[in-house]
Amino acid sequence: MPDLAERVAAQARAIAPDAVRMRRDLHRHPEVAWTERRTTYRIAEALTKQGLEPRVRPDGIGLLVEVGSEAPIVGFRADIDALPIQEETGAPYRSQVDGLMHACGHDAHAAMAVGMAGTLAGLGDLPGTARFLFQPAEEDIPSGAARLVEEGAHHDLDAIFAYHVDPAIRAGFVGLRVGPITSAADKVHIRLTGPGGHTSRPDRTVDLINVAARVVTDLPTLLSEELGPDRHLTFVFGRIAGGGAANAIPSAVEISGTARVREVDVWRELPSLIERYVGQIAATYGAGMELDYRQGSPPVDNDGHVIDVIRHAVTEILGPDGVRPTPQSMGSEDFSWFLEAVPGALVRLGVGMSDHPVDVHSPTFDLDEAAIEHGIAVGALSLLRLMERPR
């Protein structure tokens, strides 16, 4: 009789073509945060056809489904939202929605989760229960994960994990790391104000363009000096807007950017530090200042036990060389909100198609769809092994 890993691999192989078709359907019809109604419907439809009973959230966006009925209960999170990016891949399954694209692989995450649920359902009796959380709005602040945690979607879970596709890792390999694997990312919007005036007489007013330039150049340096060399901060502005004429000093200038940090303690104190330093710069030159600080998610901190169980499952499916080390990223992931309450892990699933991959959030991003079968098999076996080895 085949062992469990062989049975899981066979089930995953049989269901993978349907998962690829689902991924392509979701890819053609992307929906951004808190609009994922069609996506939710398609996922629920596919799960129902597998004989499962999905529970759609009251607003029709996002859903849960369980396979099995016994304790322990372990979970898998799949995010389902797309991005406001115009696709430029030219793929036959490219986005049909102008200005929107699945540029971060959430279509694949959702399709693989449906495939995992079908794989586990096809195995018969399970040593526990697998709960699949199809989460909206991973890309938004406040995030969908925070909302699901507020709603109690994580209750009774002994462990949870999630995938993030990684084009820097070839398909057929999985990146694992114990401890922090992502960083926190916050959005910062600053509005500077002054009386305005003529560029021939800057001494009679507040030269807001100059003040904005001071903020852009001085603020990251001041923060880095405050935090010291042992703490990691990446603060970059992506937008600056103000004025409409070359000879007029504007009365308002707006600048926006992101602050990314690796350490939770730094993340918690950063809003007050930024407010203090921007206020000092503005006051020095007589400008008014308004700060809109949108705090994102804390870093994802992978649990050692969960990673150990997944590592063994990866080697059972992909062989002893299937695991790759992966560094802590400066990107963020709202999956961290689940890990505030449940031990778990974020796993980097290799989807790379070349030695020079296009990164996520790019208009030309695509993935090697062979990774979908790998993801289904590794994910389903990881859930089973977590049922067998609860903390």
Domain containing 247 equals 184-294
* Per-residue pLDDT, 49: 97
Q: Three-state SS string across 24-62, please?
A: HHHHHCCCCCCCCHHHHHHHHHHHHHCCCCCEECCCCCC
pLDDT tens-digit readout, 232-270 = 899 999 999 999 999 999 999 999 999 999 999 999 999
Does 174 share its domain with 269?
A: no
**β-strand pairing of 301-302 with 323-325:** unpaired
Using one digit for the tens of pLDDT, what is the confidence trace for 80-101? 999 999 999 999 999 999 999 9
* Tokens linked to 13: 């192989």
Residue 135 has pLDDT above 50, yes or no: yes
Asked if the peptide bond before residue 72 counts as cis, ω within 30 degrees of 0, the response is yes
For 312, phi and psi rounded to 5 degrees? -65, -40
Tell whether pTM > 0.85: yes
User: For residue 268, what pLDDT is reported?
Assistant: 94
- Any idea which residue has 């700060």 for tokens? 291
Q: What's the half-sphere exposure (Cβ side, CA atoms, 13 Å) at 114?
A: 32
Q: Are the C-beta atoms of 196 and 248 separated by less than 8 Å?
A: yes
Task: Give residue 260's pLDDT.
Answer: 95
Q: Is 70 exceeded by the pLDDT of residue 1?
A: no
Q: Are residues 105 and 77 in the same domain?
A: yes
Domain count across the chain? 2
Look at residues 294, 322, 347 and tell me which one is the last residue of a structural domain: 294
Same-domain check for residues 322 and 288 = no
Please say if the pLDDT value at position 341 is more than 80.
yes
C-alpha dihedral, 77 to 75 to 114 to 326, nearest 10°: 50
Per-residue pLDDT, averaged over 350-377, amounts to 95
Q: How confident is the model at residue 110 (pLDDT cuts 50, 70, 90)?
A: very high
230, pLDDT greater than 50: yes
- Spatial distance between the Cα atoms of 222 and 243, rounded to a whole number of angstroms: 27
Whether 237 and 349 map to the same domain: the answer is no
- Give 370-373's long-range contacts (Cβ < 8 A, gap of 24+): 370/171, 370/172, 371/108, 371/165, 371/171, 371/172, 372/16, 372/19, 372/20, 372/23, 372/108, 372/111, 372/112, 372/115, 373/12, 373/13, 373/16, 373/19
Q: What is the pLDDT of residue 142?
A: 87
Secondary structure class of 302 (helix, strand, coil): strand
- Give the CA distances from residue 339 to residues 172, 306, 307, 319, in Å, rounded to whole numbers and listed in that order: 26, 11, 13, 28
**pLDDT-derived band at 356, boundaries 50, 70, 90:** confident
pLDDT tens profile 140-161: 998 999 999 999 999 999 999 9
Q: Indicate if the pLDDT at residue 188 is higher than 50.
A: yes
Give φ, ψ of 191 to 5 degrees: -115, 120
CA 356/CA 325 separation, integer angstroms: 19
Task: Please give the C-alpha separations between residue 76 and each of 81, 130, 148, 159, 382, in angstroms, as whole numbers.
Answer: 16, 8, 13, 9, 10
Which of 328-362 are b and which e, b meaning 16 or more Cβ less than 10 Å from the residue's Cβ? bbbbbbbbbbbbeebbbbbbbbbbbbeeebbebeb
Same domain assignment for residues 9 and 129: yes
Ordered strands of the 252-261 beta sheet:
233-242, 252-261, 184-193, 288-294
Tokens standing for residue 211: 């003040």
CATH number at residue 41: 3.40.630.10
For the chain, give the percent of residues with pLDDT over 70. 99
The answer to whether 71 touches 128, Cβ cutoff 8 Å, is yes
**Domain finish residue from 247, 267, 294:** 294
pLDDT over 90 for what percent of the chain?
Answer: 96
Q: What is the CATH number of the domain that holds 258?
A: 3.30.70.360
- What's the confidence (pLDDT) of residue 390? 83
Domain-terminating residue out of 260, 294, 328: 294
Work out the mean pLDDT of the chain and round it to a whole number. 96
